[in-house]
Amino acid sequence: MSSGHSHGQVRAGHEKMLFMALLLTTGFMIAEVIGAWITGSLALLSDAAHMFTDSAALGISLLAFQIAKRPADRNRTFGYARFEILASSVNAILLFFVAIYILYEAYERLLTPAPIQSVGMLVIATLGLVVNLISMRMLGSASGESLNVKGAYLEVWSDMLGSIGVIVAAVVIWFTGWAWVDSLVAAGIGLWVLPRTWTLLRESMNVLLEGVPNGIELKEVEQTILAVEGVKAIHDLHVWSVTSGKNVMSVHVVIAQASLNGQEILANVTTSVSQGFEIDHCTIQLEHDGFHDDEHSAEGHEHHA
């Protein structure tokens, strides 16, 4: 279909934007780490850790696009799409430990404040804000077209808030000399990162455990299938995700022997769940009402949305 070519062109555009945003974010993350060492600012180091999550998210999104191009084979029938979820899990675990370290360092600094070079801290944080705004501008237009890009866009957006926090801390320290504000902002960024880390890990584990995708209620899927004309009952309904945005369903559908044509029912069920729940891949087995268990496979079909 023609839509397939259009989608490919959009994905190519997404990859270019992700790559440019990755270069900007990673380059400035390194600059922030160096700046934190020179100025003694823990808030800058905390923001660099936060920016690391942006780089990881952008890298994962970019790599996912690349790996997803690899065709499925007899050993990996769904291809390599789940690599994105594995990488997200590792990213979440690593970020969790980084955030804990930042909180520990913030506590130590509050007990024993260290001198801060507020001017250097302010300059670096302001440049970081500019980098975030540029990345947001590049990713914003495509964030509504791709879940991968949307996730990366939200990461950069949240890091922009961290940069603003560091700027505020630098200004306060410049005018008041309150070095403890640096540790307070660093702790705030760490506490901001932790819930997002937990959410990322929980969503990743849900996909790995083949749980029902977020936003889909199994009862609603069941009711949608039962509403299709000719369907009498269903059983063995399973809905899961291969990766983010790629939902899969398998179900046994019981129909009356005098019902509509089986192929028509297959098409109607597939269309209903695809449109209602964004389920891309459906495996549906039809069973005639009254058949014994050993006869249920008399008419089995796989249909793709």
75-104 pLDDT tens trace: 777 777 777 777 777 777 777 877 787 788
Q: What is the mean pLDDT of residues 113-133?
A: 81
Domain limits, CATH 1.20.1510.10, in the chain: 2-208
What is the homologous superfamily of the domain 2-208 according to CATH? Cation efflux protein transmembrane domain (1.20.1510.10)
**What is residue 263's DSSP assignment?**
H
Percent of the chain surpassing pLDDT 70: 81
Q: Which helix (H) or strand (E) holds 77?
A: none
CATH code, 218-304: 3.30.70.1350
DSSP string covering 36-62? HHHH--HHHHHHHHHHHHHHHHHHHHH
> 259 or 129: which carries more pLDDT confidence?
129
Structure confidence by residue, pLDDT tens digits, 203-217 = 888 888 888 888 888
Q: Which helix (H) or strand (E) holds 252?
A: strand 246-255
Structure confidence by residue, pLDDT tens digits, 171-205 = 888 888 888 888 888 788 778 777 877 877 888 88
Question: What pLDDT does 270 receive?
Answer: 87
Averaged pLDDT of the chain: 76
């660099």: which residue's tokens?
48
Percent of the chain surpassing pLDDT 90: 0
Structure confidence by residue, pLDDT tens digits, 133-146 = 887 787 776 655 55
Structure confidence by residue, pLDDT tens digits, 272-303 = 888 888 888 888 888 877 654 444 444 444 44
Q: What SS3 class is residue 229?
A: coil
Q: How far, rounded to the nearest angstrom, does the alpha carbon of residue 266 sit from its chain's CA centroid? A: 32
- The Cβ of residue 178 has, within 10 Å, a number of other Cβ atoms equal to 14
Lowest mean pLDDT among 98-102, 119-123, 226-230, 248-252: 98-102
First-to-last C-alpha distance (Å) of the chain: 14
Question: What pLDDT does 150 receive?
Answer: 64
How many residues in total does the chain contain? 305
């600059």: which residue's tokens?
31
Cβ atoms of 288 and 257 within 8 Å: the answer is: yes
Spatial CB neighbours of 278, under 8 Å, sequence gap ≥ 6: 245, 247
Give dist(CA 60, CA 43) in Å, integer.
Answer: 26
Domain limits, CATH 3.30.70.1350, in the chain: 218-304
Q: What is the mean pLDDT of residues 37-41?
A: 82
Helices 2-39, 42-68: inter-axial angle, 10-degree rounding: 160
Q: In what order do the strands lie in the sheet with 299-304?
A: 231-243, 246-255, 279-288, 299-304
Question: What pLDDT does 299 receive?
Answer: 44
Question: What pLDDT does 78 receive?
Answer: 73
**What is residue 72's DSSP assignment?**
P
**What is residue 281's DSSP assignment?**
E
